[in-house]
Structures are given as structure tokens and as C-alpha cells.
Chain A
Amino acid sequence: PGSQIFQEKYQLYLKSLERHKYLNSFAYSSSTSMDAHYGINQFSDLPVDEFISTYLKSYPRRYQTYVKTIKSSTSEGS
């Protein structure tokens, strides 16, 4: 406590609390208890951009084809 890195991490932690408040507001307004909940975890002291650049690194390539499926009338009917 008192060091610069502590202060930086603490500010990030406070920001994460704001995010949790916003994200959890959907659950509180929902009628079901199954809604997702958000809070403190191992990523709470990470800036969002660092979280994205470290952990979110998969992407479909443009040239790759994903066969598009169409909803059939049978499945709609059933």
C-alpha cells in the first residue's frame, strides 16, 4: 500500500466496481434469478484494453468459409 503500482491497481479495481454495478443492474431488474452476475475476480485489476489484448485473441479469417445453415420450414413448424 502507498506505492504507485498499488494506487494504479486500486483505481482499476474501483473502475471494475462501477462496471459490476452497471452489468448487475440488468439482473436486478430481471424477474429470473438465473441472470448472469458480475463481480470481483482475477481480472478485476486489469484495464479493459489489457484484458482484451491479452486474453481475447481468436478471430475467424476472412477467407475461411463457415457453411450457413437456413432454418427449415419443418423445424419451424414443429
Chain B
Amino acid sequence: LPLRFDWRDKNVVMRVKNQMNCGACWAFSVVGAVESAYAIKGHQPLELSVQQVIDCSYMDGGCNGGSTVSALKWLNQTQTKLVHASEYAFKAKDGFCHYFPCTEFGVSIKGYEAYDFSYCEEEMMKNLINFGPLAVIVDAVSWQDYLGGVIQHHCSSGHPNHAVLVIGYDKTGDIPYWIVQNSWGTLWGAEGYVFIKMGENICGIADFVSFPLM
């Protein structure tokens, strides 16, 4: 495996988004993974609608919370086509599900996978490279005050509460770390990103990993 891998280098990672006061990190994480998987397949990179997932993924609670795997399961079971973000704009609140005609352009998935890589982050690296950015659920309580650098301490596993997108890793320096895109805007962290030490399941980053198949 390469010592450094970052899907941003291939121009398949969309910009950092801001979930504002809406607790739909799970939808941002899943839509980010679908956007990247679509671009990796050779299509023009597109921003897809997070609000569509918030309003329509019936197994989840919209801005009151949800699960990445529930959203992927809904996308796969219903073969819902995610429309362009501009067609179904983010409102930072729950709304009624809008339905679109079959002829409307949209992106659907062919399946999804969910893994616990807690004792095998190397396997997680392989999946990142083979399938694209990974939607993960972490313990982010200590992220309230994060400004930058590699998180190595006081970030436990076992209390998952926030969904984010792993888009790469870097093992070239003293401390190997995962490169993670958050959905709290670019003013938070390292221009919207957070770095987490690899190999020790810091923040539970490898516990709840899922990704779409395109």
C-alpha cells in the first residue's frame, strides 16, 4: 500500500460542507461517500442533495440524528436517485420528502458494505483505496475545541456519536494519520478536516465503517 493516499489528489472529493444546527452528520457523510464513488467511476464530480437523504431516509431521524448504514440501506433498497444539490437544496431542517420523475437525472448505488475494522486498520486502508472515501461513525466529544494537528490522546472508542468521511491517510511522517472530512464548515479544524492517528482505533474510527458500491 502507498505510504500516502488522498482522494483529493484525484479531484473526487467535494468541498467541506456545513451541517449548521442540523444533526444530520450521518447524511453528509453518506452523501459525501456517494459523490466520491460516482466521481471515481469517471463521471463529472457532482454535489448531490443531502436534504433529500434527510427528508426521505425513513429509517433515520433527519436533523435529529441517524445512521450511515440505515441511509445506505435505504438508498440501496429503494434505488433512490440522489439529485443534484441545487435541485433539492439544504435547509438545515427537516422537510417533506420530494419525489422526482424517473426521467430526472440522479445517482443511485448498486449496494453497500459495512465493516468493523477495529483490529485491522490496514484492511481499512485497502478498502479506502479500492472503493473510495469511507463513511465512519466516531466519538467526537473532544472535537468541540479542535483546531488542527493529529489527534492521539483523549479520544476514546466505544461511544460512537458523529459521522464523518475518511478520504485518505498519511504514513510518511512520525505519526501516521487518517485524513477525515467533517461537516462543520471550513472554519472548524484544519479547514474543515481533522487528522486522527492510525493503528490504535483512536476515536473509534475503525469501528463502524461503511461505503456505497457504485
Enumerate chain A interface residues (CB-CB to B < 8 A): 16, 19-20, 23, 26-27, 30, 32, 34-44, 46, 48, 51-52, 54-61, 64-71, 75
Please indicate the chain B residues that have their CB under 8 angstroms from the CB of A44 in the complex: 145
Please indicate the chain B residues that have their CB under 8 angstroms from the CB of A48 in the complex: 141, 144
Are B65 and A57 touching (Cβ within 8 A)?
A: yes
Please indicate the chain A residues that have their CB under 8 angstroms from the CB of B154 in the complex: 23, 26
Q: Which residues of B (137-177) have their CB < 8 Å from a CB of A?
A: 137, 140-142, 144-154, 160-163, 173-175, 177
Are B70 and A64 touching (Cβ within 8 A)?
A: yes
Quote the shortest CB–CB distance from A67 to chain B (angstroms).
5
Quote the shortest CB–CB distance from B164 to chain A (angstroms).
9
Are B161 and A67 touching (Cβ within 8 A)?
A: no
The 10 listed contacts between A and B (C-beta, < 8 Å) are: A32-B174, A37-B147, A43-B145, A52-B161, A57-B23, A57-B161, A60-B68, A61-B70, A67-B113, A68-B115
Are B187 and A60 touching (Cβ within 8 A)?
A: no
Quote the shortest CB–CB distance from B211 to chain A (angstroms).
12
CB-contact partner of A58 in B118, B137, B185, under 8 A: B137
Docked CA distance A40–B63 (Å): 26
Mark B111-122 against chain A: 1 for CB-CB distance below 8 A, else 0.
001111111101
Docked CA distance A27–B147 (Å): 13
Select from chain A the residue with minimum beta-carbon distance to B164: A58
Are B148 and A37 touching (Cβ within 8 A)?
A: yes
CB-contact partner of A34 in B23, B119, B175, under 8 A: B175
Mark B182-214 against chain A: 1 for CB-CB distance below 8 A, else 0.
001101100000010000000000011110000
Docked CA distance A39–B122 (Å): 32
Quote the shortest CB–CB distance from B132 to chain A (angstroms).
18
Are A55 and B162 touching (Cβ within 8 A)?
A: yes
